[in-house]
Structure 1
């Protein structure tokens, strides 16, 4: 096993994914503005379509409600979630006696926020460091890149971070994480490709404890051979971490690609069952016109979105907030 501090001048391979690592010299935006910018494509199709319906609504009746349904489906909210929203809108519209399109829009915003808040829960942090976080997900979702960005986010909060390259299956995954460790200015524990990921995690836990590190983030393999194989490997990693750090892993984040939409939900269900996922990190939210997948995740996976990827730069991973998201989507 090799420990690399990555502070010396050494040639490093470029990241496997085409993401910019150098922050641009532009003014920093607030959380709302960054989220608003990220969901621009979704808002252009979703919000503008809803606005056109609302503009024609003089009286909230079955016809005006029904006209919303295809718009929700087109935003990738999903049939199950859309059915829940439509039923609740009908019941609330009848009960409260709303009359105008503007009132309908506010009611819709309340319904969408209620879905997201219904699965939200405060993150429980351990009283004694390190906090161990496992990053899981299918290859191609941006898992390794997101691991690096998350490390940079924690570093910006003045926390000490250690990365563990436990994806020993995918070619160049270790080298890719090394680049992100260097850019995020954090140390990394690694082994050779094809090595035992649990052994890498073991060494990382020992190192994190010895150095009193605040957060240990482990990037795991994204292969999906069978559910049984996946569960065995993740169970072994969990047992390894728990032996060394009480309560570990404290968080298991499933990295999902927002652009895959409904097609990614089935794979997400498999990881959710196998890995005891505690929250979602949704990548490439800025690259889709169907950001309604956030609501489908809440309804169908019963999990909160904890962080959202809103761009390609290293700092473009932000905490997800339901109010900010809904207000950005439906101005």
Structure 2
């Protein structure tokens, strides 16, 4: 998977001076570390609906009937709610090819969560809103990995987002190549260890869903439901406990090949990871060494061992 992955992004996060104050919110992780692997499609919804830079700031306000309005914070002009929603719905309908989206936190157009919701004609607010563009995007494509740039500073959230992007990219490529039941079964098989690391119960539930594939009349409809369940499962962050179970499971494949000292070394390294004394990369590196020395076709195809480019260094610190 060497081709660049199509990912949407708030234009200000690429350093474009499109914010209300004429500035930007350049995201170093996106522009430096991820950029070699992603083909970004930047959008600034506020510029897209015809606003200038600089401009008065926008805010979300709660209306008595429970609706949310997008208005200028200085109280001037007419609400921009319908313009923003119309643009957002139209734009989201054209983004089905994307494999992820990075949005600007706190923005009344792009924020994913905890955007300030103001009372009309007041500065009283609560952090309970979602930007109007991002709300329409997530409603149109609930399977799409979406994250805010600030949350990507968290190592676990960062890795989870990138893994989901790469997983969806592979599934989208499969879909474009022509869906078959065999291709979907092979895809799911490649991700079994990865899914087990995210959530054991949902892994088993999804396995039963895959086993019932033949009961669906429409393969397209089945694939759409599988995509949603797959991406929902992967929203669960992989835990140290689940990773340890996966590592011990893989260890069992080499029970006969390894000498007693080698088995003890591997078991000790896995236990050190379990106790937080080693990063995940350490036992995985040793397992990959044994996979090269004692090939196993099923293990060799598992995305778990390289879910994204190793150069991103996402498994170094936990």
When normalised by structure 1's length, the TM-score is 0.27
Larger radius of gyration: 2
TM-score of the pair, normalised by structure 2: 0.27
Which one has more relative contact order, counting CA pairs under 8 Å at least 6 apart?
1
